[in-house]
Amino acid sequence: MMIKDSTFGPAAEQLMQAGRFLYGQGWSPATSSNYSVRLGADTAAITASGRHKGQLMKADILAIDLQGKLLEVEGTAFNPDEKSSAETALHTGLYRRYPDIGAVLHTHSPAATILSKFLQKDGVLVVEDYEMQKALTGRHTHETELAIPIFPNTQDIDALAEDVDGWLNVHPDCVAYLIAGHGLYTWASDMRTCLRHIEALEFICSCELELMKLFRKQE
Ligand SMILES: CSC[C@@H](O)[C@@H](O)C(=O)COP(=O)(O)O
Ligand SMILES: [Zn+2]
Protein backbone atom coordinates (compact mmCIF):
# COMPACT_ATOMS: atom_id res chain seq x y z
CA MET A 1 0.00 0.00 0.00
CA MET A 2 1.30 3.48 -0.92
CA ILE A 3 0.48 6.42 1.40
CA LYS A 4 -0.16 9.78 -0.29
CA ASP A 5 2.21 12.55 0.80
CA SER A 6 -0.79 14.90 1.03
CA THR A 7 -2.01 12.67 3.90
CA PHE A 8 1.36 11.84 5.42
CA GLY A 9 2.91 15.35 5.35
CA PRO A 10 0.37 17.08 7.64
CA ALA A 11 0.41 14.07 10.00
CA ALA A 12 4.22 14.20 10.21
CA GLU A 13 4.01 17.94 10.91
CA GLN A 14 1.62 17.28 13.82
CA LEU A 15 4.04 14.75 15.29
CA MET A 16 7.04 17.09 14.93
CA GLN A 17 5.12 19.91 16.62
CA ALA A 18 3.95 17.61 19.41
CA GLY A 19 7.56 16.54 19.99
CA ARG A 20 8.79 20.11 20.27
CA PHE A 21 6.02 20.95 22.74
CA LEU A 22 6.36 17.81 24.88
CA TYR A 23 10.15 18.03 24.95
CA GLY A 24 9.88 21.71 25.90
CA GLN A 25 7.66 20.80 28.84
CA GLY A 26 10.25 18.29 30.08
CA TRP A 27 7.87 15.38 29.48
CA SER A 28 9.84 13.70 26.65
CA PRO A 29 13.51 13.93 27.59
CA ALA A 30 16.25 12.58 25.32
CA THR A 31 15.07 9.75 23.05
CA SER A 32 12.18 8.76 25.32
CA SER A 33 8.52 8.79 24.25
CA ASN A 34 6.70 7.92 21.03
CA TYR A 35 3.80 9.51 19.21
CA SER A 36 1.42 8.55 16.41
CA VAL A 37 -1.52 9.87 14.41
CA ARG A 38 -4.00 7.88 12.38
CA LEU A 39 -3.74 8.26 8.61
CA GLY A 40 -6.67 6.07 7.58
CA ALA A 41 -8.81 3.19 8.80
CA ASP A 42 -5.84 0.80 8.82
CA THR A 43 -2.80 3.07 8.77
CA ALA A 44 -0.89 5.46 11.03
CA ALA A 45 2.15 7.73 11.09
CA ILE A 46 4.49 7.03 14.02
CA THR A 47 7.86 8.18 15.31
CA ALA A 48 10.87 6.11 14.30
CA SER A 49 12.68 4.35 17.14
CA GLY A 50 15.43 6.09 19.07
CA ARG A 51 14.96 9.65 17.76
CA HIS A 52 15.27 12.75 19.92
CA LYS A 53 11.67 13.90 20.25
CA GLY A 54 12.51 17.59 20.58
CA GLN A 55 14.29 17.56 17.22
CA LEU A 56 11.99 15.46 15.04
CA MET A 57 12.23 15.93 11.28
CA LYS A 58 9.98 14.48 8.60
CA ALA A 59 12.54 11.70 8.05
CA ASP A 60 11.95 10.61 11.68
CA ILE A 61 8.30 9.79 10.97
CA LEU A 62 7.22 6.50 9.38
CA ALA A 63 3.98 5.20 7.89
CA ILE A 64 2.75 1.81 9.13
CA ASP A 65 -0.28 -0.42 8.89
CA LEU A 66 -2.06 -1.55 12.05
CA GLN A 67 0.01 -4.73 12.16
CA GLY A 68 3.10 -2.50 12.43
CA LYS A 69 4.36 -3.14 8.88
CA LEU A 70 6.23 -0.23 7.26
CA LEU A 71 4.44 1.39 4.32
CA GLU A 72 5.78 3.42 1.42
CA VAL A 73 5.08 7.14 1.25
CA GLU A 74 4.65 8.69 -2.18
CA GLY A 75 7.71 10.74 -3.16
CA THR A 76 9.91 9.38 -0.34
CA ALA A 77 12.64 6.75 -0.79
CA PHE A 78 11.53 3.57 0.99
CA ASN A 79 14.05 2.10 3.44
CA PRO A 80 12.87 -1.32 4.69
CA ASP A 81 15.53 -1.20 7.45
CA GLU A 82 13.89 1.76 9.20
CA LYS A 83 12.43 0.79 12.59
CA SER A 84 9.23 2.29 13.90
CA SER A 85 9.00 2.86 17.67
CA ALA A 86 9.91 -0.16 19.80
CA GLU A 87 6.44 0.34 21.34
CA THR A 88 4.56 0.37 18.02
CA ALA A 89 2.34 -2.53 19.16
CA LEU A 90 0.94 -0.37 21.99
CA HIS A 91 -0.17 2.24 19.43
CA THR A 92 -1.55 -0.15 16.82
CA GLY A 93 -3.48 -2.09 19.48
CA LEU A 94 -5.31 1.10 20.46
CA TYR A 95 -6.10 2.08 16.83
CA ARG A 96 -7.44 -1.41 16.14
CA ARG A 97 -9.59 -1.37 19.29
CA TYR A 98 -10.98 2.15 18.89
CA PRO A 99 -11.77 3.09 15.26
CA ASP A 100 -12.68 6.62 16.40
CA ILE A 101 -9.31 7.56 17.91
CA GLY A 102 -6.88 9.62 15.84
CA ALA A 103 -3.80 10.07 18.03
CA VAL A 104 -1.76 8.27 20.69
CA LEU A 105 0.93 9.93 22.84
CA HIS A 106 3.44 8.35 25.20
CA THR A 107 5.59 10.52 27.50
CA HIS A 108 8.25 10.03 30.19
CA SER A 109 7.71 12.91 32.63
CA PRO A 110 9.34 12.88 36.06
CA ALA A 111 5.90 13.03 37.77
CA ALA A 112 4.46 10.06 35.83
CA THR A 113 7.68 8.11 36.30
CA ILE A 114 7.96 8.66 40.07
CA LEU A 115 4.26 8.24 40.81
CA SER A 116 3.93 5.04 38.78
CA LYS A 117 7.03 3.61 40.48
CA PHE A 118 5.78 4.53 43.93
CA LEU A 119 2.25 3.15 43.36
CA GLN A 120 3.28 0.10 41.33
CA LYS A 121 2.21 -2.26 44.14
CA ASP A 122 -1.36 -0.88 43.97
CA GLY A 123 -1.63 -1.49 40.22
CA VAL A 124 -3.85 1.56 39.80
CA LEU A 125 -3.88 5.30 40.51
CA VAL A 126 -7.37 6.36 41.56
CA VAL A 127 -8.09 10.08 41.82
CA GLU A 128 -11.20 12.15 42.31
CA ASP A 129 -12.29 15.73 42.98
CA TYR A 130 -9.93 17.30 40.46
CA GLU A 131 -11.69 19.83 38.26
CA MET A 132 -8.98 19.00 35.70
CA GLN A 133 -10.59 15.54 35.17
CA LYS A 134 -13.04 17.37 32.88
CA ALA A 135 -10.23 17.92 30.35
CA LEU A 136 -10.42 14.19 29.63
CA THR A 137 -12.80 12.95 26.94
CA GLY A 138 -16.15 11.82 28.34
CA ARG A 139 -15.65 13.35 31.82
CA HIS A 140 -18.10 16.06 32.85
CA THR A 141 -17.62 16.45 36.61
CA HIS A 142 -14.94 16.26 39.29
CA GLU A 143 -17.30 14.05 41.29
CA THR A 144 -16.27 10.74 39.74
CA GLU A 145 -13.34 8.44 40.27
CA LEU A 146 -10.69 8.41 37.56
CA ALA A 147 -8.82 5.10 37.54
CA ILE A 148 -5.49 4.98 35.72
CA PRO A 149 -4.02 1.47 35.68
CA ILE A 150 -0.30 0.99 36.36
CA PHE A 151 1.25 -1.91 34.47
CA PRO A 152 4.63 -3.38 35.44
CA ASN A 153 7.37 -2.24 33.12
CA THR A 154 8.78 -4.82 30.71
CA GLN A 155 10.82 -4.93 27.51
CA ASP A 156 8.31 -7.52 26.22
CA ILE A 157 5.96 -5.10 24.45
CA ASP A 158 3.65 -7.82 23.15
CA ALA A 159 3.11 -9.02 26.74
CA LEU A 160 2.46 -5.43 27.84
CA ALA A 161 -0.02 -4.98 24.98
CA GLU A 162 -1.87 -8.06 26.29
CA ASP A 163 -2.00 -6.59 29.80
CA VAL A 164 -3.40 -3.35 28.38
CA ASP A 165 -5.99 -5.28 26.34
CA GLY A 166 -7.10 -7.18 29.43
CA TRP A 167 -7.71 -3.93 31.33
CA LEU A 168 -9.46 -2.16 28.44
CA ASN A 169 -11.77 -5.14 27.93
CA VAL A 170 -13.30 -4.43 31.34
CA HIS A 171 -12.75 -0.64 31.49
CA PRO A 172 -13.86 0.65 28.07
CA ASP A 173 -14.01 4.28 29.29
CA CYS A 174 -10.31 4.30 30.25
CA VAL A 175 -8.33 7.01 28.40
CA ALA A 176 -4.83 6.53 29.83
CA TYR A 177 -2.46 4.16 31.55
CA LEU A 178 0.87 4.31 33.35
CA ILE A 179 3.81 1.93 33.07
CA ALA A 180 5.73 1.66 36.35
CA GLY A 181 8.94 3.69 36.43
CA HIS A 182 8.47 4.36 32.75
CA GLY A 183 5.71 6.77 31.70
CA LEU A 184 2.24 7.55 30.49
CA TYR A 185 0.08 6.57 27.49
CA THR A 186 -3.06 8.36 26.41
CA TRP A 187 -5.19 8.49 23.25
CA ALA A 188 -7.94 10.68 21.81
CA SER A 189 -9.98 11.58 18.75
CA ASP A 190 -7.22 13.81 17.34
CA MET A 191 -3.80 15.22 18.21
CA ARG A 192 -5.15 18.43 19.75
CA THR A 193 -7.33 16.50 22.16
CA CYS A 194 -4.57 14.02 22.88
CA LEU A 195 -2.18 16.86 23.82
CA ARG A 196 -4.90 18.18 26.12
CA HIS A 197 -5.11 14.74 27.74
CA ILE A 198 -1.36 14.70 28.31
CA GLU A 199 -1.40 18.16 29.90
CA ALA A 200 -4.34 17.30 32.15
CA LEU A 201 -2.84 13.97 33.21
CA GLU A 202 0.56 15.55 33.87
CA PHE A 203 -1.16 18.16 36.02
CA ILE A 204 -3.01 15.48 38.00
CA CYS A 205 0.15 13.34 38.41
CA SER A 206 2.11 16.37 39.65
CA CYS A 207 -0.63 17.27 42.14
CA GLU A 208 -0.79 13.69 43.44
CA LEU A 209 2.96 13.65 43.88
CA GLU A 210 2.91 16.93 45.82
CA LEU A 211 0.08 15.67 48.01
CA MET A 212 2.01 12.51 48.82
CA LYS A 213 5.04 14.56 49.81
CA LEU A 214 2.88 16.72 52.09
CA PHE A 215 1.32 13.72 53.80
CA ARG A 216 4.69 12.05 54.26
CA LYS A 217 6.08 15.20 55.92
CA GLN A 218 3.18 15.18 58.40
CA GLU A 219 3.73 11.52 59.36
C1 LIG B 1 15.20 6.39 26.75
S2 LIG B 1 14.80 4.93 25.93
C3 LIG B 1 13.04 4.82 26.07
C4 LIG B 1 12.51 3.67 25.25
O5 LIG B 1 12.94 2.45 25.78
C6 LIG B 1 11.00 3.72 25.17
O7 LIG B 1 10.40 3.57 26.42
C8 LIG B 1 10.50 4.96 24.53
O9 LIG B 1 9.66 5.65 25.05
C10 LIG B 1 11.04 5.37 23.22
O11 LIG B 1 11.29 4.26 22.39
P12 LIG B 1 11.22 4.41 20.81
O13 LIG B 1 11.65 3.08 20.29
O14 LIG B 1 12.17 5.53 20.46
O15 LIG B 1 9.81 4.77 20.49
ZN1 LIG C 1 8.70 4.79 26.79
DSSP-derived secondary structure for the chain = -EE-HHHHHHHHHHHHHHHHHHHHTTSS-TT--EEEEEEETTEEEEEBTT--GGG--GGGEEEEETT--EEEETTS---TT--B-TTHHHHHHHHHH-TT--EEEEE--HHHHHHHHHTGGGSEEEE-S-GGGGGSTT---SSS-EEEEEEPP-S-HHHHHHHHHHHHHH-TT--EEEETTTEEEEEESSHHHHHHHHHHHHHHHHHHHHHHHHHHHH-
pTM, full prediction: 0.97
Above 0.90 for ipTM, yes or no?
yes
Nearest CA residue ID for atom 5, ligand 1: 32
Q: Among all ligands shown, which has an atom nearest to the Cα of 113?
A: 2
Residue 102: give its domain's CATH number: 3.40.225.10
- pLDDT number for residue 215: 86
Look at the chain and report how many structural domains it folds into. 1
- pLDDT number for residue 216: 83
- Residue span of the structural domain in which 114 resides: 2-218
CA of 55 to the centre of ligand 2 (A): 17
CA of 72 to the centre of ligand 1 (A): 23
